[in-house]
Chains A and B, each alone.
Chain A
């Protein structure tokens, strides 16, 4: 029963944690580096996972935002995301989950139709961001969008002090 629940752990002081779930290691690493370079007055922690459930040896802190990364060039990444979604508690979908679809720019390489991802995202009532992680200039706007969403999600949940600090940054 390894389901991620948003209120399992106590919030840490002035810290926000993002969990990125996706199969594209190299691309995600670039995005993470870009996010950590952003100016935040409070501490930002980013965890990377290939899929959920997280291995039992890993003990992450309280997760404030889960970002599922779907690569439109790879059906495998969509299947991986769909399986990982089953291990997330339903209450996460009230503002703490975000989907990132990469690769829409190169239409000739797409293995998945965009509507498949849109339908999935609509089913989970969560936002969808399009980006192209293979293009370096998209990393900064994508990181900013994710951080904005993180701040918004945090501000709606009581007991999190990190939200105000993030939006100042």
Chain B
């Protein structure tokens, strides 16, 4: 057997070459092959061989109720399970958190010029934001400014919003005991100082831990593929990618915008199994974009880092910022993010 052919053949075939083919002598080579085969023959399974298409909604989510969640930029955090959290005590929590915020602000820790100390905290549950019946209910925390004049509406301006949810969190729910409530995904919109204060209160009260959820380039390319795969009646935004080129002194950014229908056409040409997305399809989809870019600009995008993906379904940034644009796929996007959050916790 020509040894050049052996190296060109698929790797599985090359390991079946018999040591007698070599002139050196079989003994020590045979011993070497045996020792190599005895090594752990565990082939790691891919992180996600198949993933359900994100167009299935477990429950009918009322678009009106979740409208406030869309078109806002949320900063993502992963949260460890909350100890002894109860949905019946939400009014109590509102009161306690309100007092805490006022105390913190008066301490001078987060003093800004012209800041209104008259704030009101509201805890409320958001029905329908869950994957299965086992998932705990999502709940929302809002900081509203109390209006000074009694003639105005009782509801002031929303200063800060944060919500906790868990979509298809079975892998985490199975591991914790009854006292814990698992809501691994936390999304915040508003001033960073408020996020820090709320985070401190939750950590002290429920013995949990927040950590920022970054999305790496690998997961962003999965999101790009899955969101492009979603069937849309009409597209509200172009599909856009942003790459960061590591070079000194300052890094460069490359932005690549495609018409969403063209992106969908590329996806349809690589997509094989209906209802599932595999690693190979994601890689092929991204390779199509890379090779097209390389043909025109002679730049290897695969050597750069994907930092932002923006589609008509949602847009995500590597720093852990997300904006969801389509209510139809809200649960699907949140399910993926929940998975990333659980992975970070574990």
Contact = CB atoms under 8 A, between A and B. Distances in A.
B305 to A, nearest CB: 6
A108 B302 contact: no
Contacts of B45: 115
Chain B facing A: main interface SS: helix
A118 B11 contact: no
A74 B6 CA distance: 29
B7 A86 contact: yes
A119 B11 CA distance: 11
Interface in A116-144: 116, 118-119, 122-125
Given A76-B300, A119-B44, A111 B7 contact: no
B114 interface: no
A105 to B, nearest CB: 12
Contact of B14 (A90, A107, A108, A116): A90
Contacts of B266: none
B91 to A, nearest CB: 39
B10 to A, nearest CB: 9
B208 interface: no
Given A74-B302, A109-B305, A118-B44, A124 B11 contact: yes
Interface centre among B3, B7, B24 (most CB of A within 10 A): B7
A89 B7 contact: yes
A109 B219 CA distance: 10
A93 B14 contact: yes
Interface string B273-293: 000000100000010001000
Contacts of B306: 111
A1 B4 contact: yes
A109 B24 CA distance: 45
B216 A88 contact: no
Contacts of A93: 14
Nearest to A153: B32
A51 to B, nearest CB: 12
Contacts of A107: 214, 216
Contacts of A112: 218
Given A23-B303, A113-B47, A119-B43, A86 B217 contact: no
Given A91-B22, A156-B28, A156-B32, A86 B303 contact: no
Contact of B302 (A1, A76, A125): A76
Interface in A1-17: 1, 3, 5
B233 interface: no
A169 interface: no
A95 B32 contact: yes
A44 interface: no
A119 B45 CA distance: 9
A76 to B, nearest CB: 4
Contacts of B8: 86
Interface in B1-51: 3-4, 6-8, 11-12, 14-15, 17, 22, 24, 28-29, 32-33, 36-37, 39, 43-47
Contact of B216 (A3, A76, A110): A110
Interface in B215-254: 215-218, 221
Interface in A76-103: 76-77, 79, 86-91, 93-95
Given A79-B302, A158-B24, A90 B6 contact: yes
B318 interface: yes
B3 A89 contact: yes
Given A76-B303, A91-B3, A109 B217 contact: yes
A3 to B, nearest CB: 5
A47 interface: no
Interface of A: 1, 3, 5, 23, 73-77, 79, 86-91, 93-95, 107-113, 115-116, 118-119, 122-125, 156, 158
Given A5-B3, A109-B217, A111-B305, 9 more contacts: A3-B4, A73-B305, A74-B303, A94-B36, A109-B305, A111-B218, A115-B44, A125-B15, A125-B37
20 contacts: A23-B303, A75-B290, A75-B302, A75-B303, A76-B300, A76-B303, A87-B7, A90-B14, A91-B22, A107-B214, A108-B214, A108-B216, A108-B318, A109-B216, A109-B305, A111-B218, A111-B305, A115-B47, A119-B44, A156-B28
